[in-house]
C-alpha cells in the first residue's frame, strides 16, 4: 500500500481564501497582534509567515518585536495595551518565551476573548466542557484534515502521542468531541508500539524526528504528523532538512493516509490562526 498524501498546504490555502472572503464581507478589518520576544531564528520565520498571511487575508496585522531582555512587567504592559485596543481582535504571544519570563502569567493576562491561540485557562476549560471557545490552532487544523479525509470519526480508535498543553491535550479533547475513542500516550506509556497498533488514527506530537516507526502502525491507519524537526545540515547543505515525528518513508507503505512535513499540519496552524482571529472579530461586533 502507498498512503494517500494529505495535502495540508492546499487545504490551508482554501481555508485562508474563505477567511479572506468573509473578512471582506464583514465591513470591519480583523486585527491580529503577534508578540515576539527575543531572536529565536525559527520563531522569526513563523512570525514572518503569520504577518504575511494575515496581510494577504486583508487583516490589520501588527508584530511587536521585543528584545530578549524585556521584563515581565514590560511584556504585561504591552498585553494590557493590546487588550484595550479596539483595532486588535486577536493576540498571539509567540512561545517559547526567553528564560526569565513567566509564560503562564503572560497567557493569563491576555483577554480570553482575544486569545486566538486558545491557551488561556478559561478557554482550555471551555474546550474541556464542550463550550464554544477559540481552539488551539494546531490541533484544530489536524481535526479539519482528519474530518475532511475520513468524514465521521465516531467510534474510531485515536491515539495522540504527546501530552503538551499546546497540542496533545487539546487534540485529545477535540477527538473526544468528535466521538472518537481516545488514548493519550506519553514518555511513561508502556509498550507504545503495541498501543499504537490498535489505532485507526495516530496523531504524533512528541517533537522527536522519526520517532514513530512503520511497524507500530496498523495497516491502513491514518497518520497526522505534527512534528517540525530541523535536522543537522548534511555535508554541502546550508540548512538541515525539516522532518516530522514519523518515519515518513517507511510509514507511507503501511498507512492509508499521512500528512507530509513540510506541507501538512504546519500551514493549517496559520490558517486556523486567521480563522480564530476572524471569529474573535465577529464575536466582538455582536
Ligand atoms: N503562541 C504560539 N502559537 C503558535 O501557534 C506557535 C508558537 N507559539 N510557537 C511555535 C509554534 C510552531 N508553529 C508553526 C506554525 C507554522 C508552521 C509552518 O507553516 N510550517 C511549514 C514549513 C515552515 C518552514 O519551512 O520552516 C510546513 O510545515 O509546511 C510551523 C510551525 C506555531 N507555533
Do 40 and 140 share a domain, yes or no? no
Distance 173 CA to ligand 1 centre (A): 21
Q: Is the CB of 228 under 6 A from ligand 1?
A: yes
Weakly modelled stretches of the chain, pLDDT under 70: none
Do 33 and 104 share a domain, yes or no? yes
Q: For residue 187, give its domain range.
A: 136-266
Angstrom distance (rounded) from CA 81 to CA 158: 41
DSSP-based three-state secondary structure for 109: helix
Strands of 90-93's sheet, edge to edge?
60-66, 31-37, 90-93
Q: Assess if residue 252 is contained within a domain.
A: yes
Give residues with Cβ within 8 angstroms of 174, minimum separation 6. 127, 135, 139, 140, 142, 143
Q: Assess if residue 33 is contained within a domain.
A: yes
Q: Assess if residue 19 is contained within a domain.
A: no
Do 86 and 197 share a domain, yes or no? no
Residue that terminates a domain, selected from 112, 146, 165: 112
Write down the pLDDT at residue 286. Answer: 75
Residue 97 C-alpha cell reads as 518565551
Residue that terminates a domain, selected from 112, 147, 172: 112
Do 108 and 145 share a domain, yes or no? no
ipTM of the complex: 0.96
Q: Is the CB of 117 under 6 A from ligand 1?
A: yes
Angstrom distance (rounded) from CA 13 to CA 19: 10
- CATH code at position 42: 3.40.50.10860
Q: Assess if residue 1 is contained within a domain.
A: no
Angstrom distance (rounded) from CA 140 to CA 137: 5
Q: Assess if residue 282 is contained within a domain.
A: no
Q: Is the CB of 136 under 6 A from ligand 1?
A: no
Question: Is 162 known to sit in a ligand binding site?
Answer: yes
Do 225 and 141 share a domain, yes or no? yes
Do 141 and 207 share a domain, yes or no? yes
Write down the pLDDT at residue 55. Answer: 98
Do 101 and 158 share a domain, yes or no? no
The residue contributing the CA closest to ligand 1 atom 21 is 266
Q: How many domains does the chain have?
A: 2
Please indicate, yes or no, whether the overall pTM of this predicted structure exceeds 0.95: yes
Write down the pLDDT at residue 201. Answer: 99
Do 195 and 235 share a domain, yes or no? yes
Write down the pLDDT at residue 218. Answer: 98
Q: Assess if residue 67 is contained within a domain.
A: yes
Do 236 and 148 share a domain, yes or no? yes
Write down the pLDDT at residue 1. Answer: 75
Q: Assess if residue 173 is contained within a domain.
A: yes
Question: Is 227 known to sit in a ligand binding site?
Answer: no
Closest CA to 163 of 183, 138, 181: 183
Do 158 and 256 share a domain, yes or no? yes
Question: DSSP labels for 178-207?
Answer: TT-EEEEE-TT-TTHHHHHTT-SEEEE-S-
CA dihedral 272, 118, 38, 34 (to 10 degrees): 50
Do 249 and 140 share a domain, yes or no? yes
Largest CA distance in the chain: 56
Give residues with Cβ within 8 angstroms of 20, minimum separation 6. 56, 57, 58
Do 217 and 252 share a domain, yes or no? yes
- CATH code at position 251: 3.40.50.720
Residue that terminates a domain, selected from 78, 112, 146: 112
**Cis amide leading into 11 (omega within 30):** no
Amino acid at each position: 500500500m502507498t498512503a494517500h498524501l494529505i495535502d495540508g498546504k492546499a487545504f490551508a490555502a482554501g481555508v485562508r481564501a474563505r477567511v479572506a472572503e468573509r473578512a471582506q464581507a464583514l465591513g470591519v478589518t480583523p486585527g491580529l497582534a503577534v508578540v515576539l520576544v527575543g531572536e529565536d531564528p525559527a520563531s522569526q520565520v513563523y512570525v514572518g509567515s503569520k504577518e504575511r498571511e494575515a496581510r494577504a487575508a486583508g487583516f490589520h496585522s501588527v508584530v511587536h518585536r521585543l528584545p530578549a531582555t524585556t521584563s515581565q512587567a514590560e511584556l504585561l504592559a504591552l498585553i494590557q495595551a493590546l487588550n484595550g485596543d479596539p483595532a486588535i481582535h486577536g493576540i498571539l504571544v509567540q512561545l517559547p518565551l526567553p528564560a526569565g519570563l513567566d509564560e503562564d502569567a503572560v497567557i493569563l493576562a491576555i483577554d480570553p476573548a482575544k486569545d486566538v491561540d486558545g491557551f488561556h485557562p478559561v478557554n482550555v476549560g471551555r474546550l474541556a466542557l464542550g463550550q464554544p471557545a477559540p481552539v488551539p490552532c494546531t490541533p484544530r487544523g489536524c481535526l479539519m484534515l482528519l474530518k475532511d479525509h475520513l468524514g465521521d470519526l465516531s467510534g474510531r480508535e485515536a491515539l495522540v502521542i504527546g501530552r503538551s498543553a499546546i497540542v496533545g491535550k487539546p487534540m485529545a479533547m477535540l477527538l473526544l468531541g468528535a466521538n472518537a475513542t481516545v488514548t493519550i500516550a506519553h514518555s511513561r506509556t508502556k509498550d507504545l508500539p503495541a498501543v499504537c497498533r490498535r489505532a485507526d488514527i495516530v496523531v504524533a506530537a512528541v517533537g522527536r524526528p522519526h520517532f514513530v516507526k512503520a511497524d507500530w502502525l496498523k495497516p491502513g491507519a491514518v497518520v497526522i504528523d505534527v512534528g517540525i524537526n530541523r535536522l543537522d545540515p548534511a555535508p554541502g547543505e546550508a540548512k538541515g532538512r525539516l522532518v516530522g515525528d514519523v518515519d515518513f518513508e517507511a510509514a507511507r507503505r503501511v498507512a492509508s493516509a499521512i500528512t507530509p512535513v513540510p506541507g501538512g499540519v504546519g500551514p493549517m496552524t496559520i490558517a486556523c490562526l486567521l480563522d480564530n482571529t476572524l471569529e474573535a472579530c465577529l464575536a466582538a461586533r455582536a
